Amino acid sequence: MSSSQPIEPEFQQAYDEIVSSLTDSTLFEKQPKYKKVLPVVSVPERVIQFRVTWENDKGEQEVAPGFRVQYNSAKGPYKGGLRFHPSVNLSILKFLGFEQIFKNALTGLDMGGAKGGLAVDLKGRSDNEIRRICNSFMRELSRHIGQDTDVPAGDIGVGGREIGYLFGAYRSYRNSWEGVLTGKGLNWGGSLIRPEATGYGLVYYTQAMIDYATKGKESFAGKRVAISGSGNVAQYAALKVIELGGIVVSLSDSKGAIFSETGITADQVTAIAEAKINFKSLQQIVAEYSVFTEDKIKYIDGARPWVHAGKVDIALPCATQNEISGDEAKALVAAGVKFVAEGSNMGSTPEAIRVFETARSTASSVPSAVWYVGGKASNLGGVLVSGLEMAQNSQRVSWTRETVDKELKKRMINCFNDCIEAAETYSKESNTSTLPSLVKGANLASFIKVADAMFDQGDVF
C-alpha cells in the first residue's frame, strides 16, 4: 500500500498504525507466517453501499449514501456500530471497521468486525423525521444483517432513540424479533450497563494502567482528568471518574470546550446528557441550565481541551478521530499528563502517538513516563457489553447490573493484561526502566488472535 497520497487517509492511518506495531516487534522474525495475513486482512470481506432517501418535515425529498462495511467474520458474526454524521464516507468507515476487527478480538468474545453509517446531519431534525430516516436506512440494511450474520450498534449520532427506530424498522421489514442490534431499550431486549459501558470500561482500563504503573499505590482519587466530547462515551467516563474521586477539568463538543478548576459535577454531566438529546451545544447548556450558574465554568469557543486545561494527570479523548494533534500532545506532556487513554476511535494523530510513545520509551523511570493506549483496547467496553447483550438475547434472559458491570471490569483488566503480555513477548525495546508499549501490545495481541482464526478457517494459506 502506498502511503504518499492515500485515497482513503483515515483507513491508511489505521492500517499504518497496525503495520508499524507489527514490524517494530519481533513477531515476524519469530513467526514469519503472520506476514501473509496483512494483505488479506486489510481488504473487507464485503462493502455494501446504498441509497437512503426520505421526506423531510418540509415535504421535500432528501437523499444520502448509506454504508455497511462487513470487514471480517473469522472470529464471529460481524459486529460494529453505525455512525450518522455528515463526515461519514468509505475511508472513515473502513478505518472504523478495520479497528473493530482487532478491538472485538481483544474482548475475548466471539465477534467479527464491521462498521456502517449514513452521511447525514441529524441536528435540528424532529423525532418524526429521524424515525423516517432510520426506517429508510433499515429498509436496505435489513437485507444484509441478522443475529447470526451481522449485529450493528450505535456510534456517533446513533443513540438509544435511533436504535429504537432502527430495531422497529428491522422487525417490521423482516417479521422477526431477534437480537439484531445492540444498545436496545431495557424493556425490549437491551442489557443493563450498555449505555455506560464504553465510558466505564475506559475508566476501568485506565485504572488498570494506574495500578500497574504505581504498583497499586495510586488511583483516580484526586487526579485532574481532561475529557473531550460530551456525548455517550464522555458522559459516562466523566461520571465514573467523579465516582472514583477524580476531578473532571474539561468536556467539549464540536463547537467548543468547558473547563472547571474545581471539577465538573455529576449533576452538570446529567444536565448535559439531557440537553444533548435535543442537540443543544455546550455553550447553550451552560447558559440555560441552573446547575451551571453558581459554578465557575469557563467556555472557550472553538477550542479543544488539551492546551487550555492547566495541569492534567490523565487525558481521556472521547469525541472523534484525530482530536489530539502533535502540538496538543506536547502541551499535554508539558502539563504533566501521565496517562492517556482513548475513548474515541483513533483519537490521536500519528504525530501525537509519536509524542506520547517517545515520552514513554525514553523515560528514565516509570514515574516520569507517559503511558498511552489507543481506543482499540481502552474503548472496547461498549462492544464487550454488546456481546453480553447478544448472549442474553440468545438465552432470553436479563443479567443484573452487578453481573454485567463485574464482567465488564474483569474483561477490561484481562484485555490490559493481554496487551502487557504481548508487548513484553514481542518487544524490541532495550530501555527496561520504563513501561511496555500498550499500542504495540494491543495491536500484537489482537492481530495474532484474528490471524490464527483466519489460518484455521483457510482465509489465509
β-sheet bridge partners, residue 52: 64
Q: Say whether 94 counts as a known binding-site residue.
A: no
Active site residue 223: no
Q: Say whether 441 counts as a known binding-site residue.
A: no
Judged by beta carbon, residue 188 or residue 279, the one nearer ligand NDP is 279
**Selection from 120, 189, 204, 187 nearest residue 151 by Cα:** 189
CB of 270 to ligand NDP, least distance (A): 15
Judged by beta carbon, residue 55 or residue 301, the one nearer ligand NDP is 301
Q: Say whether 263 counts as a known binding-site residue.
A: no
CB of 180 to ligand NDP, least distance (A): 17
Judged by beta carbon, residue 97 or residue 263, the one nearer ligand NDP is 97
Selecting among 94, 115, 280, 376, the annotated active-site residue is 115
Judged by beta carbon, residue 434 or residue 446, the one nearer ligand NDP is 446
Position of minimal CB gap to ligand NDP: 231
**Selection from 128, 47, 145, 38 nearest residue 89 by Cα:** 47
Q: Other C-beta atoms within 10 Å of 39: how many?
A: 10
Q: Say whether 326 counts as a known binding-site residue.
A: no
CB of 229 to ligand NDP, least distance (A): 4
Q: Say whether 100 counts as a known binding-site residue.
A: yes
The packing angle between helices 326-334 and 350-361, to 10°, is: 30
Task: Find out whether 265 and 219 touch, Cβ atoms under 8 Å.
Answer: no
Enter the DSSP assignment of 109. S
Task: Find out whether 115 and 81 touch, Cβ atoms under 8 Å.
Answer: yes
Q: Say whether 240 counts as a known binding-site residue.
A: no
Let me know how many helices (H) and strands (E) the chain has, helices first: 16, 12
CB of 284 to ligand NDP, least distance (A): 10
Judged by beta carbon, residue 320 or residue 393, the one nearer ligand NDP is 320
Q: What is the side-by-side strand order in the sheet with 61-72?
A: 46-55, 61-72, 113-118, 78-84, 150-153
CB of 275 to ligand NDP, least distance (A): 10
Tell me the HSE value of 80 on the side-chain side, using a 13 A CA sphere. 31
SS3 254: coil
**Which residue ranges make up the site for ligand NDP (CB under 6 A)?**
154-157, 159, 198, 229-234, 253-255, 276, 318-320, 343-345, 379, 382
CB of 243 to ligand NDP, least distance (A): 18
The packing angle between helices 232-243 and 194-214, to 10°, is: 50
Task: Find out whether 96 and 345 touch, Cβ atoms under 8 Å.
Answer: yes
Determine the Cα–Cα distance for residues 427 and 434; give it in Å rounded to an integer.
13
Q: Which residue has the cell 424532529?
A: 126
Q: Say whether 290 counts as a known binding-site residue.
A: no
Which run of H or E residues covers position 224? strand 224-227
Judged by beta carbon, residue 199 or residue 436, the one nearer ligand NDP is 199
Determine the Cα–Cα distance for residues 318 and 235; give it in Å rounded to an integer.
9
Which residues sit in the known binding site?
79, 100, 103, 154, 198, 232, 386
Which residues sit in the known binding site for substrate?
79, 100, 103, 154, 386
Which residues sit in the known binding site for NAD(+)?
198, 232
Give the residue numbers annotated as catalytic, written as ranges: 115
